[in-house]
Structure 1
Amino acid sequence: MEKVIMKEVKRQGELALPLILANFLIFTIQLMSVISVGHINHEKLAGASMAISIVNAIGFSVLMGVSSALDTLCGQSFGAKQHNMVGLHMQRAMIIIVLVSIPLAIILAFSGRILVLLDQDPDISMAAQTYIHYMIPSLFAYGLLQCIFKFLQAQNIVLPIMLSSGITALFHGVSCWTFTYKTSLGYRGAAVSVSAAYWFNLVLLMIYVGLSPLCKETWSGFSKEAFNGLIGFLKLGIPSTFMVCLQNWQFELLLILSGLLANPKLQTSLMSISQNISSLVYTIPIGVSAAVSTRVSNELGAENPRAAKLAILTAASTVITEGLIVGLAMIAGRNIWGHAYSNETQVVNAIASMMPWIALSHCIDGLQCVLLGTIRGCGRQKIGAFVCLCSYYMVGIPASILIGFVFNKKVKGLWIGNICAIVVQNVVLLVITVFTNWEEQVSSLLRICLFIRLKLNLNRDFFY
């Protein structure tokens, strides 16, 4: 048994470590841009920070949600050795991603006016809109990039993701400095560099998929069969989108609420930076989440329910240990973090007072991340979406408003409300996972795979 556990630890480590590093490197793209703006113009920092939050909420979250259906579809297809289906699923996701990106881009183009209607500071809102205009091209690249990530991840091909992310981070460092400091674009140049970085990364991975012998069985070029089954893909893609968006939108609501507090420029910057720091350390559990999602979907596809359960237990143990270590390190260095974002003493001190709460949320957030990864691996996104809805919007947001406004704890109170939501979500997801019949999950998967095969054959006969 010990050998089996160590083998699973090794498998997850080989998946998670490159993905953690890749997620961190991708995150630094937006991080470097925000830092650049903060050191150019403190007044524009709030606008740029809000802009990135809005793009993440309205744009990237939706696209990530759509592509998350591939965690289930590609992972289980690869585990069941239906290699041709892995590529077809990715192509369907890409078609939907492009179609969805068009209305999202239109909405983002008018985001500043929407923020003003939500009673946000007009100067911050219009600065955010200007920044967003230069980030709109990144929408299409980001969505397609997520599809390729999921496609490779399902096949346990993760080193190319890490390497391309590293090369892109270097490219972005140079382009961000050039566009921001050496052109007349100023803070807008930071947004231009973000868009350029995502397209650069997309091109790198497209070349890899087209040329790599490792993708030979799963990728044979674009096929008109990808246009069949789009509705079927959406049956999983829509709940996947809601599951991701409901979680991320809650953070954007907190950002909007912070803009309603006294001294909105300081409070908005503090909330945005707190979320930024949280997202930075969140790259660790999200890498483990991706690994467990892949392992669970692969093992269910291969009809190994016991191996799927072992993968979940291993991942949960990993993130709990990681959360304690990283959380304590964040508290120990609480007076250092603020200097990376601003030279203003008031901002630095405010961030230091927030760090214990950010650390606490990170300690408990890892388990939730793994449990949601398990949900994706099983294809139970409808359940995940419902749990996110109840925990964040029936518990988290009301608690944030109560503690932040009524008890006058400001941004700290808003964050404590978020912690309450995570606790509720952890408890519910843990109960669902413990009482899941994994043998029944395999049986359900076999029925779904059979249905997809029959449906594709019928569509192919009709098409021809």
Structure 2
Amino acid sequence: MNEPENSTRCGRCLRLLPTEFTREIINLFSLALPVVNLYCCLMPCFPQQAITVFGVGIGYGLAAACDTLISQTYGAGNLLQVGVLTQRATLILLLACLPCCAILVNTESILLLVHQRPEVARVSQVYVDIFLPSLPAIFIYIIEAKFLQNQGIIWPLVITGVVANILNALANYIFLFVLKMGVEGSAAANTISQYSLAITLFLYIRFKGLHKQTWA
């Protein structure tokens, strides 16, 4: 069987997949590559759990409303309203950073309150304190992703996700094995990765003009 026939058969197979399959793969891809864990497998998992529960999870929960509002608005052909909804969602999520930060800055006290070891609580607080400035970048990336996904634009998320994970792995290697910065280095590398993810996707949207039809 020649190559064109193989390509045609692959294309037919892909069309048999559910329409939401690609979007689900993107979401799983963005969550299923814990590069930091590969480098910090001996580090307590409490700081990452705290950030997920009181930070990232809240961001995804609030942004879930965009799946309904933006997709329906886009489907109705009201493209400028998509931009308005995106702006409002961005403002709401950035304001949501404040209560999230208020909880996360007390990570050590909360862990001590539930009888965790003092050293574990201290290390967790160090990690959270350094990683905390990345919370706005995480929330902005979530909104950027929703903005594209609900218009059926997927590949920019794949491309920026691959680039950001490569940068994350490189930054972790430099901070942990070259500079020997330990937990502080891992948190700094992850912070850099989150900002690179948000900025890269923003620049892609900006220079590819993916916003022009929906932005007044």
Give TM class, smaller chain: 0.7 to 0.9
Q: Map 1:180-195 to 2 at 5 A.
A: 180-195=176-191
Cα distance between partner residues in 1 of 2:18 and 2:32 = 24
The structure with more helix, counted as a fraction of residues: 1
The answer on whether the counterparts of 1:22 and 1:162 sit within 8 Å (CA) in structure 2 is no
1:34 aligns with: 37
Does 89-98 or 119-128 show the bigger shift? 119-128
**1:149 correspondence with 2:145:** yes
Match of 1:110 among 97, 106, 110: 106
Cα deviation 1:343-386 (Å, max 9, x = unaligned):
xxxxxxxxxxxxxxxxxxxxxxxxxxxxxxxxxxxxxxxxxxxx
> In the alignment, which residue of structure 2 is the partner of 1:59?
55
CA contact (8 A) 2:26 2:157 kept: no
Deviation at 1:35, TM superposition (A): 2.4
Query: Alpha carbons of 1:80 and 1:17: their partners in 2 closer, same or farther (altered >3 Å)?
Result: same
Partner of 2:211: 215
| Counterparts of 1:96 and 1:75, CA distance in 2 | 18
CA distance in 2, matches of 1:111, 1:117: 10
How far off its partner does 1:21 sit? Answer: 4.5
Offset at residue 197 of structure 1 (A):
0.7
Q: What SS is found at the alignment partner of 1:217? A: helix
Shift of 1:219: 2.6
2:179 counterpart of 1:176: no
Partner of 1:298: none
Is the contact made by 2:112 and 2:121 (CA closer than 8 Å) also made in structure 1?
Answer: yes
Pair 1:17-2:22 in alignment: yes
For residues 8 and 86 of structure 1, do their structure 2 counterparts lie closer, same or farther at Cα, with a shift above 3 Å needed? Answer: farther
Task: Find the counterpart in structure 1 of residue 89 from structure 2.
Answer: 93
Q: Are the counterparts in 2 of residues 113 and 126 from structure 1 also a CA contact under 8 Å?
A: no
Find the counterpart in structure 1 of residue 134 from structure 2.
138
Residue 16 (structure 1) shift:
3.0
In the other structure, the counterpart of 2:199 is 203
- C-alpha distance in 2 between matches for 1:203 and 1:121: 37
Instruction: Give unpaired runs (5+ residues) of structure 2.
Output: 1-12
State how far apart, in whole Å, the 1-side matches of 2:144 and 2:79 are: 15
Match of 2:120 among 114, 118, 124: 124
Work out the CA distance in 1 between the residues paired with 2:206 and 2:177.
Answer: 36
Q: Give CA deviations for 1:300-343 in whole Å, capped at 9, x if unaligned.
A: xxxxxxxxxxxxxxxxxxxxxxxxxxxxxxxxxxxxxxxxxxxx
Give structure 1 stretches of 5+ with no counterpart: 1-5, 221-464
Retained in 2: the 8 A contact 1:90–1:151? yes
The answer to whether the Cα contact below 8 Å between 1:130 and 1:188 also exists between their aligned partners in 2 is yes
* Alignment-derived partner of residue 10 in structure 2: none
State the one-letter code of the partner of 2:25.
I
Deviation of the 1:130 alpha carbon: 1.1
Separation (CA, whole Å) in 2 of partners of 1:169 and 1:26: 11
Matches of 1:98 and 1:85 in 2, distance apart? 20
**Partner in structure 2 of residue 445 of structure 1:** none
| CA 18–74 in structure 1, closer or farther in 2 if over 3 Å, else same | closer
Hey, what does 2:156 align to over in structure 1? 160
Greater relative contact order (Cα 8 A, min sep 6): structure 1 or 2?
Answer: 2
Aligned residues: 204
Query: Which residue does the alignment assign to 2:7?
Result: none
Aligned mates of 2:139, 2:104 — CA distance in 1: 15
> Any conservation in 2 of the 1:26–1:165 contact (CA below 8 Å)?
no
State the partner residue of 1:253. none
What one-letter code is carried by the residue in structure 2 that aligns with 1:141? A
Separation (CA, whole Å) in 2 of partners of 1:106 and 1:183:
31
Q: What percent of counterpart residues are identical?
A: 24
Asked whether the 8 Å contact 2:172–2:185 carries over to 1, the reply is yes
TM-score by length of 1: 0.42
TM alignment of 1:4-403, pairs within 5 A: 9-10=16-17, 12=19, 16-17=21-22, 19-21=24-26, 23-28=28-33, 31-38=34-41, 42=42, 45-46=43-44, 49-220=45-216
Check whether the contact 1:22–1:165 (CA below 8 A) recurs between aligned residues. no
- Matched to 1:194, the amino acid is N
Q: Distance in 1 between matches of 2:32 and 2:190?
A: 11
- 8 A Cα contact 1:22 1:166, kept in partner: no
